[in-house]
Copies of this chain bind each other. A is one copy, B any other.
Amino acid sequence: MSSSVSPLAPKTVPDMPVIAGVRLATAEAGIRYKNRTDVLLAVMDKGTAVAGVFTRSKCPSAPVEWCRAKLRGGKARALVVNSGNANAFTGKTGRSSTALTAKIAAKAVGCSEGEIFLASTGVIGEPLDATKFDGVLGRLAETAEPGDYLAAAKAIMTTDTFPKVATATVKLGKAKVTINGMAKGAGMIAPDMATMLSFIFTDAPIAPAALQALLKSGVEDTFNAVTIDGDTSTSDTLLAFATGAAAEHGAPKISRASDPRLKAFVKAFNQVLANLSEQVARDGEGARKLVEITVEGAKTKASARKIAMSIANSPLVKTAIAGEDANWGRVVMAVGKAGEPADRDKLSISFNGIRVAKSGARDPSYDEAQVSEAMKAPEIAIKVSLGLGKGRDRVLTCDLTKEYVAINGDYRS
């Protein structure tokens, strides 16, 4: 949808290794876009464990409801993702559309419908014609190959300006296991489009309950700590698949998330989540600056999170950063409105390491020219010290530019 790649895009794209037990294929199903892929099929070997976390929206999309229900089985054989249509707010049509898609996919892959996972991103409120998958999924299942994760990440883009992939390789027991991930997401909802989607694949032999626990814990400081505009999609979906193929090379079978042998794996898993979620912030609609907000000295971590999110979602803070203005008055405002314990006269605030406010007033040593220069950087770190306790948290966001308003307001004209 967007013509130019975000200036915050990563400079290099990692080589994505193969994951044993996972085969991928993409196609042009013509759901909405022309001349680009818009459907992804990932086929997993028998015995693949699945875990998932979803939007907390009270009005979730039909595919989210489908996945939530099927997750109870803990097993996955295929993932079908389409872009161009979110199948959200489509009433009963939405439910029959997910059922039909799963039926077609199950036949193509040769498994039960309960082992099919679905995600859709695109227009809201438009019925998704699942008959378009007929034929397409059968062909994809036949041609799926162990590998092009970048092509897969491209097929699920909407207003994204670059495909988002990440990988890590780590020891589990004495065996090498691999974690591959992809994500899409530009606004929580982009122009008439919905969704943050992310999919993680690993060959580690991890049981569904353990994988679910890892995922739930891992998203807390990664995907859940990113905000573009505070607008939560109806379709946010993060699924993790563990094929277990590494067991053949001696990787131990893991049934509990607390298993001490998982230590290195958990670290690598969380790094993949952090990498992907940071890429989502880097591709925020209209973003020109990546903003990291750290709040320390709060009563608790949860309190620090609330204050950091209040700053990250403040349009006045975000527009100030777009204007390269170290406007700490607005940061104070956002701290104050968060409703969490804060003492104005203990507050200190810094931008990119330069302290501009301390003890509830302007820092006397504050050099305007120095700060103005620092604010020109593409990455801005705002640190707020509350001086009340040991609670600390960090969230990522981007600036609010005229391009955001143009992307989300101009497309009718």
In the assembled complex, the Cα of A106 lies from the Cα of B329 at a distance in Å of: 30
Q: A147 contacts the other chain (Cβ, under 8 Å)?
A: no
Which residues of chain B come closer than 8 Å to A57, judged between CB atoms?
A: 333, 336-337
Which of A55, A57, A313, A401 has the most chain B CB atoms inside 10 A of its CB? A57
Residues of chain A from 87 to 128 with CB closer than 8 A to chain B in the complex? 88-94, 123-126
Partner of A405, one of B313, B319, B410, B411: B319
B401, A409: Cβ atoms under 8 Å? yes
Known: A123-B329, A319-B408, A323-B411. 19 other contacts (CB 8 A): A58-B337, A58-B339, A59-B332, A59-B333, A59-B335, A60-B336, A88-B329, A89-B332, A89-B360, A124-B332, A124-B333, A125-B361, A230-B315, A231-B314, A231-B315, A231-B333, A232-B337, A322-B409, A323-B410
Residue of B nearest to A359 (CB): B91
Q: A160 contacts the other chain (Cβ, under 8 Å)?
A: no
Q: Mark A252-276, 1 if CB is under 8 A from B, else 0.
A: 0000000000000000000000000
Q: A400 contacts the other chain (Cβ, under 8 Å)?
A: yes
Residue of B nearest to A89 (CB): B332
A329, B60: Cβ atoms under 8 Å? no
Q: Mark A178-214, 1 if CB is under 8 A from B, else 0.
A: 0000000001110010100000000000000000000
Q: A316 contacts the other chain (Cβ, under 8 Å)?
A: yes
**Interface residue tally of chain A, by bracket?**
35 or more
Residues of chain A from 354 to 372 with CB closer than 8 A to chain B in the complex? 357, 359-362, 372
Q: A330 contacts the other chain (Cβ, under 8 Å)?
A: yes
Which residues of chain B come closer than 8 Å to A408, judged between CB atoms?
A: 315-316, 319-320, 323
Top 8 A-B residue pairs of the complex, sorted by shortest distance between their CB atoms = A124-B329, A57-B336, A59-B336, A91-B361, A323-B409, A232-B337, A319-B409, A319-B408
Q: A292 contacts the other chain (Cβ, under 8 Å)?
A: no
B412, A93: Cβ atoms under 8 Å? no
Can you list 14 A-B contacts with CB-CB less than 8 angstroms, sorted by A residue number?
A56-B337, A57-B333, A88-B332, A89-B347, A92-B361, A94-B361, A189-B333, A231-B315, A231-B316, A232-B333, A234-B333, A319-B409, A323-B408, A402-B402
Partner of A327, one of B192, B357, B400: B192
Q: A277 contacts the other chain (Cβ, under 8 Å)?
A: no
| Chain B nearest CB, measured from A374 CB (Å) | 13
| Chain B nearest CB, measured from A219 CB (Å) | 17
Q: A404 contacts the other chain (Cβ, under 8 Å)?
A: yes
Residues of chain A from 260 to 302 with CB closer than 8 A to chain B in the complex? none
| Chain B nearest CB, measured from A196 CB (Å) | 12
Residues of chain A from 338 to 395 with CB closer than 8 A to chain B in the complex? 338-345, 347, 357, 359-362, 372
B91, A336: Cβ atoms under 8 Å? no
B125, A362: Cβ atoms under 8 Å? yes
Q: A223 contacts the other chain (Cβ, under 8 Å)?
A: no
Residue of B nearest to A326 (CB): B412
Q: A165 contacts the other chain (Cβ, under 8 Å)?
A: no
B56, A316: Cβ atoms under 8 Å? no
Which residues of chain B come closer than 8 Å to A412, judged between CB atoms?
A: 323-325, 372
| Chain B nearest CB, measured from A399 CB (Å) | 8
Which residues of chain B come closer than 8 Å to A58, judged between CB atoms?
A: 335-344
Q: A406 contacts the other chain (Cβ, under 8 Å)?
A: yes
Which of A233, A313, A361, A405 has the most chain B CB atoms inside 10 A of its CB? A405
Residue of B nearest to A230 (CB): B315
Q: A334 contacts the other chain (Cβ, under 8 Å)?
A: yes
